[in-house]
Structure 1
Amino acid sequence: MKFIKLTAISAAVLASTAALAADPVIVVDDNDAVVYEAEPVAYQAAQPSYAYNSDAGIVRNTTGAVVGTTKTIFNTLTHPASVSAEAGTLGYGANVGFSVNEKTELQAGWAGGDAADLFGGDFDANDVNYDVDSDFSNPYLGVQVRPMANWFTMGAGIIVPDNDIDVRANSEGSDDGYFELNNIQYNAAQTGTLEGTIEHRNKLAPYLTVGFRPNITNNFGLFGEVGAAYMGKTDATVRAVDSTSLVNYTDKDGTPSTTTAGEVASIAEKELEDKDWLEWFPIVKVGATYRF
């Protein structure tokens, strides 16, 4: 009888395992029948490495969330939304755009080269006109926003300026001409050539622009922007070819006086450093964009 009992129990266990407790198991013991209900085994799908807990308002498994975010950032940076070519007061250059959403785009670009001709090739500092030669290098990072989801754009960012600006003063007036500094006219022939350099003090220059970016086709578009970058005060160096040369002038009281070409250069240098528009450098640029 014990043998029959063991055999019945073993068969019941094997049957319940195979059928995942699909049917009840009956065990016979000394003419008594006992029914056992086998509980099925529950299997759960593997949970993701991170998940949002709507009750607590937090992301469970921070490590997984960071990895997921990093992967998203990597995919965004390696799949740019657009490339653009540009020309303007900062120079000739290009940028790459990365879409954050339908209204916002991050940009990384560079503009430089000899940009002097793009803004006329000269400028006036008070009453002295200067010819300009430049060698610009302006890498930048910024964001372009379409606040109304149309052609109108607003931009902001940071420029890392490394611009070499060489200047040469032009004499004015009749006959031999003159350099007018602080309302005093210095004889240009006696002063000789005045030339120098300008360098902005800011190593990081914030900028703001407004513009428009119409799409011509699904992939191709144009853009234009105007604005300004805060380059900070300028350091100027102006020198005369012969700094010891004597220069005649008439002072503000009408009295004829004499100074040196080196002193005239120093006065011109101070006026260059006081020129306001070099502190706020104008940004004007146009270009074309190809969208992927």
Structure 2
Amino acid sequence: MRAHSLVAAAFSLAALSVSTVAQSATFGITPQVGLAGAGATVQWGFNEYLGLSAGYTGIDERISDVKTDEATYDADISISNPQLFVNWAPFGGHFRVSFGVIAQDSSIDLVGRDFKQTPTNPNAGVVNNARINASFAQSIAPAITVGWETPMDQVGFGYHLSIGAMYAGDPEVNANITCNVVASCLGLQRDEERDIEDELSKYKVLPILQAGVLYRL
């Protein structure tokens, strides 16, 4: 429910800008691809220096053989990123800086297999099932990008490129590991949660890279 509310909030904010469209110099559409998947952005260019854009990118991907010290996992990665940016071209040309927010709803679901028998994990052979869910707590993520695109007051076909970063925040990790003997899983579950949380904590700041073809009228 939280994800749907965030999506609605992001696009409601974008909808408030529609009242200014009549005053804008241009309106554009940009299909785009990037590190966070594929999507599209709509733009309002008010003059050669200032614009507003609202869009969405997302991806669903499955990755096999994700390894920790204790096991091997299959991962389902889901990224859903509604976004709203104010675009500023300080020189009125191709270069611009954008400030905005991304209503991120990103999660990783892991299913474990091939648990290793190690000194710290002597009960690997009794694991029945291992599922771990990880997500980032910073649902409304501030973001900044720099980029190059066709000037905001020019109509027709053009290009778009953005490079930047967003603050995703600390990860939340929940493990559910069941064993033949319940007590055997307590240490393993705690260790796996800690290992995956430590790994994801390296990505509190996530890179942004998006490129697309632009059409303005």
- TM-score under structure 1 length normalisation: 0.55
Task: Name the CA shift for 1:285/1:72 in 2 (closer, same or farther; >3 Å).
Answer: closer
Aligned to 2:31: 85
Matches within 5 A, 1:116-135: 116=61, 131-135=74-78
One-letter code of the match for 1:202? Q
| 2:22 aligned with 1:75 | yes
Q: By how many angstroms is 1:146 displaced?
A: 2.5
Aligned to 1:3: none
Instruction: Indicate the percent of aligned positions where both proteins have the same amino acid.
Output: 25
Instruction: Tell whether the 8 Å contact from 1:138 to 1:162 is kept in structure 2 after alignment.
Output: yes
Q: Structure 1 regions of 5+ residues with no counterpart?
A: 1-69, 172-176, 247-258
- Aligned residue pairs: how many? 198
Partner of residue 83 from structure 2, selected from 140, 145, 153:
140
Q: By how many angstroms is 1:261 displaced?
A: 3.2
Aligned to 1:220: 157
Q: Name the SS for the 1:178 alignment partner.
A: coil
Deviations 1:167-221 (CA, angstroms, capped at 9, x unpaired): 24575xxxxx7388xx956675554653311122123110112233258x96222
Q: By how many angstroms is 1:244 displaced?
A: 4.2
| 2:36 aligned with 1:100 | no
| 2:169 aligned with 1:239 | no
Q: Give me the whole-angstrom Cα distance separating, in 1, the residues matched to 2:117 and 2:31.
A: 41
Instruction: Tell whether the 8 Å contact from 1:133 to 1:167 is kept in structure 2 after alignment.
Output: yes
Q: Name the SS for the 1:228 alignment partner.
A: strand
With a CA cutoff of 8 Å and minimum separation of 6, indicate the structure with the bigger relative contact order. Answer: 2
Deviations 1:245-289 (CA, angstroms, capped at 9, x unpaired): 59xxxxxxxxxxxx7234212211123233323422222222221
One-letter code of the match for 1:288? V
Aligned to 1:178: 116
Runs of 4+ in structure 1 off by over 6 angstroms are 120-129
Task: Name the CA shift for 1:135/1:71 in 2 (closer, same or farther; >3 Å).
Answer: closer
Q: Give me the whole-angstrom Cα distance separating, in 2, the residues matched to 1:111 and 1:164.
A: 14
- TM-score under structure 2 length normalisation: 0.71
Instruction: Tell whether the 8 Å contact from 1:244 to 1:262 is kept in structure 2 after alignment.
Output: no
Q: Structure 2 regions of 5+ residues with no counterpart?
A: 1-16
Q: By how many angstroms is 1:142 displaced?
A: 0.5
Q: Give me the whole-angstrom Cα distance separating, in 2, the residues matched to 1:230 and 1:290.
A: 30
Q: Give me the whole-angstrom Cα distance separating, in 2, the residues matched to 1:209 and 1:125.
A: 33
Aligned to 1:288: 213
One-letter code of the match for 1:141? L
